[in-house]
Amino acid sequence: MTNFLIADDHNIIRFGLKQIISTSFIPSTVKEAASFDEVVGLLEQRPFDLLILDINLPGGTHLAMLDAVRLRQPAIKILIFSASDEKVYAVKYLQAGADGYLEKSTSNVEIKNAISTILRNEKYMSPATRQQWLYRNSGQPRENPLSSLSARETDVLNFLLQGHPVAKIADMLSLHVSTVSTYKTRIYSKLEVQNLVELLQKVELYKNN
């Protein structure tokens, strides 16, 4: 019997994961938690083999949740299941002790694969995360994507981080709006982000390197 604990504040996510587990991993039991307080309470009641954990769970504090879980059940496996960008967060959580990282947009087939991999006592990583993991643990200095930006792109980046819209940046730099839009597109492409939130996260990750 494999015992699962699903921790996510969205009922539809818990329902979907429970369906995948119940039909793919037999025999098994599945418990659910909508907050980190509920997770702690369940961990103190009974042992679990695998915790599927949303990093933005109410009552939890990101990486600190891993330590709190391990304190109560040192042998438990932890699969992070998050809407947050894998490129930014996956390696960080794996280094902190998670056994795998999945984005919530992942297919059912890959979710099953990740769970099976972890239950075999292996780390689960997507191909992209595996490359990032190997590079980061190779002893080589990490390439900083911020260094690929031109001087003008860096100027535009700094104004974007301050919350200025494209039209305002164009006025401050005495450039056409279309020119600033082009710089913004290049910045997003070079840093591999889709929006301002991801941009802020990526800059925070690399700014001291």
Same domain membership, residue 152 and residue 132? no
- Domain with residue 125: its CATH number is 3.40.50.2300
Q: Edge to edge, what strands does the sheet with 2-7 contain?
A: 28-33, 2-7, 50-53, 77-82, 100-103
From 118, 136, 154, the end of a domain falls on 136
- Which of residues 83, 114, 136 is at a domain's end? 136
One domain, residues 186 and 160? yes
How many structural domains are present in the chain? 2
DSSP 172-204: HHT--HHHHHHHHHHHHHHHT-SSHHHHHHHHH
Residue 16 sits in the same domain as residue 109: yes
Asked if residue 197 and residue 129 are part of one domain, the reply reads: no
- Could you tell me if 117 and 35 lie in one domain? yes
- Could you list the residue range(s) of the whole structural domain that residue 166 is in? 145-206
Please give the chain's pLDDT, 209 residues, in tens.
999 999 999 999 999 999 999 999 989 999 999 999 999 999 999 999 999 999 889 988 778 899 999 999 999 999 999 987 787 788 888 988 999 999 999 999 999 999 999 999 999 998 888 877 776 666 555 567 877 888 788 889 888 988 999 999 999 888 899 999 999 999 999 888 889 888 888 887 776 55
Q: Do 66 and 100 form a contact (C-beta atoms < 8 A)?
A: no
Does residue 158 sit in the same domain as residue 119? no
Closest to 55 (Cα-Cα) out of 118, 100, 112, 111:
100
Q: Are 154 and 130 within one domain?
A: no
Q: Which two tokens stand for residue 8?
A: 């996510």
Residues 84 and 166 placed together within one structural domain of the fold: no
Q: What is the overall mean pLDDT for the chain?
A: 89
| pLDDT per residue as tens digits for the range 103-151 | 999 999 999 999 999 999 999 998 888 877 776 666 555 567 877 888 7
Q: Are residues 26 and 100 in the same domain?
A: yes
Do 58 and 34 meet the contact criterion of CB atoms below 8 Å apart?
yes
- Shared domain check, 7 and 93: yes
Q: Are residues 44 and 106 in the same domain?
A: yes
pTM for the whole structure = 0.69
